[in-house]
Structures are given as C-alpha cells and as structure tokens.
Amino acid sequence: MQGAGGIHKGEIPGLMRITSEWDLLGKIRERVGKTGLPHPESLFKGIGDDCAVFAVDDSTFGLLTTDISVEHVHFSRDFGRPADIGFKAMMGNVSDIASMCGSPRFALVAIGIPADTMEEYVLELYEGMIEAANQSGTIIAGGDTSKSDVLTLSIALYGEVPRKKLAARDGAAAGDIVYLTSTTGDSMAGLEILKTGDRARIGRYPDLVRKHVRPMARVGIVQEISQVFAPTAMVDVSDGILSDLRHICTESGRGFVIDTDALPISPGLKAFTRETGSDPRTYALESGEEYELLFTSPRDLSATMNVNLNGIPVTAIGKITDKGYSLVRNGVMVKAGTGGFDHFK
C-alpha cells in the first residue's frame, strides 16, 4: 500500500535522525537481499512490488503483503471512528493483493493497544476490519495483541493469483496505455473537509468523506481487468497517481505522459473544487490512499467511450513512453517535477 513497494515499501513521514527514509530503505533492501536464500527460485518477487510473490504450485502464485498503521502517522482518532480505521487498514492490505491481480485469502492482525483504550474502541476496530474482510472475501485467521504506548495495527495478508494473471510493476512497455479505475482525488478532498470539523460541510460532501474513511479496494474486478486488458503492469493508488505511476516506470525502465485533461473527476470533487476555487486535477494526481487500480496495457480501448467493469468505470489517462515524466494540460506538454503537479502551475 505504501510507496516504495515490496521490501520496506513504507515511507517514514516526518523528520527522523535517519537523514533520509529512502536512503534507509535502500540500505535495508541491500542487507535483506544479501541473505543466503535457501531456495531463491521459489521466491518470484521479494523487492520492488506491492506483494512478495512465491510459487505455490505449477499454476498458482502465493502473495504476501503487510502494512503497519500507526496512530498520529497513518490515522487520527479525531478524523475517523474506530470501525473506519479498522476498515481502511484492512482494505489497504486487500488493495495490495488486488494490485497484483490476486485474491485475498487469510489475514493476520497484530495490534498494539495503549493502556487507556476502552474495550469498546478495540472491538469497533475489529468490526471495521471484519467488515472489510467480509466485503473482500478475506478470512481473519490469526493475530497477536500487545500493550503499546501508541495504537498500532499491523496486518499481514496472504492471497493467491493464477500464474498467468500476475500483474507486477515491471512489465510496462513504451506505447502502452495507462488506465485508471473509477476516479481519484476524493480521498484528499475528504480529509480536508474532515479537518475543518465543519459539520454542515461534512454533510454536504458525503461521497468525498466516505472515500477517505471507507475506501474500497478494487479486488472485485481484477478478473475482469485481466480478461479485458491483460495488464502489463499494475499498482494500487496509495501515494497518488503521479507517485505510483513513477513506481511502475522505475521498475519497467520507462517514462510516462499523463493527459491531465482526461483525468476522471467525481461529481463531488467537481463541486468541492468549484466551491474552493482549486483545480480538481491537482487532487486527482496527488491524492493517495485511494485504492483505485492504475495499470498499463497494450490494448487501446481509449476510443470506447464507456469501459465499465461491474459498474466501475475504467479511463485511459495517458501513455507509457521510452523515458521522462510528462503531463499534458490544456493540450500543452510540460515536465512532471518530483513534487508533482504543483511544479507546473
């Protein structure tokens, strides 16, 4: 779910005495990669993707992923009910499985609980996790519990994917179309609205708020995506389209151009950005934790007006190129800076 993929895909937000989180992650990768692997041929992917991939049998890959959610870093008790926090933490893991074109099977829930936590709060966290598990066909099969000074949810998920359908990050080819499920941007707008604490406003944008507190992983349409598009690379939108598409391009050794005018925008985000005088495309490009799927495919269905899989629209938003990261806005092509969309405002 977090950015860097695979081994230590997480980012460490905020300042650390550790000077650069990416530097640290690189060093961890290097050390872990040096372990004398007893049977490396069975571990298909360990580093650089949303899940570790290993051989179960001749036709099936096993998928393993984990995400740690820490209070004050990933969530705040102020902006979400415990059931929402549990739901989102579970969905983040499910989304990692979906991004490989897989199906989740079993979840393990490790939880650290501060001493002053009310029992009901913990049980509601579980209600949310159970709801997300039920909606995605996941079984909560085990876990561990500890006291902790900070509320921590660490979920690990095992899933499976037919070998032929595995969608990794490194298969994008120049000329492939970039597709996105549903819309992005709502989660970021929803959080902004929640942070105002303005109840009337929160009530006016229920869809935006809901996308922030109850995002749905697209695990229900991965079979259809596989059949219709045969994706060459896929990620879930956890850091924002700009950032996540970079992950595909880094692993595939390619570049991209995103047509920002083609970005799908929800009616709620349109209304919200009209009210605030902001550009919905900024939200669409930078909003994370959306759990939409972003994938590349040589199949050009962009001329088809409505590609719709089980009610979820799929939109062509750009192309894979040989190299470089570019954005098109109002027909003009500009470079995408590392800071994303803002750089060409």
| Residues 59-118 contacting a copy of itself, CB under 8 A | 62, 64-70, 72-74, 105-106, 108-113, 115-118
Cα 317 from Cα 179, distance rounded (Å): 6
Residues in contact with a copy of itself, counted by CB under 8 A, come to a total of 87
The 3-state DSSP composition of the chain as helix, strand, coil percent (nearest 5) reads: 35, 25, 35
Nearer to a copy of itself, 75 or 229 (CB): 75
CB 169, min distance to a copy of itself, A: 13
Contact 256, 325 (CB under 8 A): yes
Mention every residue, 6+ apart, whose C-beta is less than 8 A from residue 159: 51, 62, 63, 65, 97, 100, 102, 103, 104, 105
| Binding residue (CB under 8 A) for a copy of itself from 95, 99, 152, 297 | 152
Q: What is 322-340 written as a DSSP string? A: SS-EEEEETTEEEE-BTTB
Cα 94 from Cα 66, distance rounded (Å): 10
Q: In the structure encoding, which two tokens stand for residue 52, read together?
A: 């570790």
CB 183, min distance to a copy of itself, A: 26
Backbone phi, then psi, for 267, in 5-degree steps? -55, -40
Nearer to a copy of itself, 208 or 222 (CB): 222
| Binding residue (CB under 8 A) for a copy of itself from 41, 78, 94, 123 | 123
Cα 132 from Cα 66, distance rounded (Å): 16
- CB neighbours of residue 45 within 10 Å: 20
Residues 39-58 that bind a copy of itself (CB under 8 A): 40, 42-43, 46-47, 51-52, 54, 56-57
Interface stretch with a copy of itself, choices 22-30, 179-187, 245-253, 328-336 (CB under 8 A): 22-30
Cα Dmax for the chain: 59
Residues 225-284 that bind a copy of itself (CB under 8 A): none
Nearer to a copy of itself, 73 or 307 (CB): 73
CB 135, min distance to a copy of itself, A: 10
Nearer to a copy of itself, 78 or 119 (CB): 119
Nearer to a copy of itself, 19 or 310 (CB): 19
| Binding residue (CB under 8 A) for a copy of itself from 26, 76, 77, 142 | 142
Distance between terminal CA atoms of the chain?
A: 28
CB 203, min distance to a copy of itself, A: 30
Q: Could you tell me where the beta strands, DSSP code E, fall in the chain?
A: 43-45, 52-55, 60-70, 103-113, 139-147, 152-162, 177-181, 233-236, 255-259, 293-297, 307-309, 312-321, 325-329, 332-335
Nearer to a copy of itself, 70 or 173 (CB): 70
Nearer to a copy of itself, 57 or 310 (CB): 57
| Binding residue (CB under 8 A) for a copy of itself from 36, 267, 277, 311 | 36
CA neighbor of 167 nearest in space, from 215, 88, 217, 223: 223
Residues 158-177 that bind a copy of itself (CB under 8 A): 158
| Binding residue (CB under 8 A) for a copy of itself from 79, 81, 127, 282 | 127
Nearer to a copy of itself, 101 or 153 (CB): 153
| Binding residue (CB under 8 A) for a copy of itself from 79, 156, 230, 250 | 156
